[in-house]
A and B are shown apart, each in its own frame.
Chain A
Amino acid sequence: MEYLSIVFQEVYKILFLLVPVLVSVAMIVWLDRRVWAFVQKRQGPNVVGPFGLLQSLADALKYIFKEIIIPSSSNKVIFILAPIVTMTLALIAWAVIPFSATQVLADINVGILYLFAVSSLGVYGIIMGGWASNSKYPFLGAIRSAAQMVSYEVSIGVIIINVLLCVGSLNLNDIVIAQQNMWFVIPLFPMFVIFFISALAETNRPPFDLPEAEAELVAGYQTEYSGMMYAMFWLGEYANILLMCAMGAILFLGGWMSPIDVYPFTLVPGALWLILKILLLFILFALVKAIVPRYRYDQLMRLGWKVFLPLSLIWVVLTASYLFYFNLLPVN
Chain B
Amino acid sequence: MIAHAIFFYTFSIIAVVSAIMVTASKNTVHSVFFLILDFISISCLFIMIGAEFLGMIMLIVYVGAVAVLFLFVVMMLNVAQQKNQWFAGQSTSKHIPVGLIISTLIFFEIIIVIGGWKYKPEIFDINNSLANTSVSNTHSLGQILYTDYIHVFQISGMILLVAMIGAIVLTFRQRSGVKRQSYIKQISRERVESVEVLEVQSNKGVKIDD
Q: Kindly identify which residue among A110, A143, A298 contacts B75, using a CB–CB cutoff of 8 Å.
A: A143
Interface size counted on chain B using CB atoms at 8 A: 23
Whether A63 sits at the interface, judged by CB under 8 Å, is no
Q: Is the CB of A114 within 8 A of B56?
A: yes
Q: Would you call B71 and A127 a contact (CB within 8 A)?
A: yes
**Contact A150-B65, Cβ < 8 Å, known A109-B138, A124-B36, A170-B138:** yes
B72 contact from A108, A113, A147, A298, Cβ within 8 A: A147
* B53 beta carbon closer than 8 Å to chain A: yes
Is the C-beta of A65 less than 8 angstroms from some C-beta in chain B?
no
- The contact string, 1 if C-beta is below 8 Å from chain A, for chain B 49-66, is 000110011011001110
Which B residues touch A298, using CB under 8 A?
181
0 or 1 for each of A124-162: is its CB under 8 Å from B? (1 = yes): 100110010000000100110011011001000100000
B208 at interface, CB cutoff 8 A = no
Does B3 lie at the interface of the complex (its beta carbon under 8 Å from any beta carbon of A)?
A: yes
In the bound complex, CA of A250 to CA of B186 (Å): 39
A170 to B56, CA, bound (A): 11
- Is residue B33 within 8 Å, beta carbon to beta carbon, of the partner chain? yes
Chain A residues with CB below 8 A from B29, complex form: 131
Contact of B57 with A3 in the complex, beta carbons under 8 Å: no
B136 within 8 A of A: yes
Partner of B60, one of A78, A117, A139: A117
Report chain B residues within 8 Å CB of A110.
Answer: 52-53, 56, 137-138
Contact assessment for B136 and A109 in the assembled complex, using a CB-CB cutoff below 8 Å: yes
Q: Across the A-B interface, how many residue pairs have beta carbons closer than 8 Å? A: 65
Bound: A149/B59 CA distance, A = 15
Closest to A132 in B: B29
Give A222 to B59 CA distance when docked, in angstroms.
26
Q: Closest A-chain residue to B138, C-beta based?
A: A170
The reply on A200 being an interface residue by CB < 8 A is no
Which residues of A have CB within 8 Å of B136? 109
- A104→B150 CA distance, assembly (Å): 36
A109-B137, A117-B59, A170-B138 known; A153+B53 contact, CB < 8 A: no
User: Is A121's CB within 8 Å of the partner chain B?
Assistant: yes
Q: How many whole Å from A116's CB to the nearest CB in chain B?
A: 6
The CA of A127 and the CA of B56, in the complex, are separated in Å by 22
A-B contact list, 18 entries, CB within 8 Å: A3-B3, A109-B52, A109-B137, A110-B52, A110-B137, A114-B56, A116-B60, A117-B56, A117-B64, A120-B59, A121-B63, A123-B64, A123-B68, A124-B36, A139-B75, A146-B71, A153-B64, A170-B53
Known: A120-B59, A121-B63, A150-B69. 20 other contacts (CB 8 A): A3-B3, A108-B52, A109-B138, A110-B137, A110-B138, A113-B56, A114-B56, A116-B56, A117-B56, A117-B59, A120-B60, A120-B64, A121-B64, A127-B68, A127-B72, A131-B71, A143-B76, A146-B72, A157-B60, A170-B53
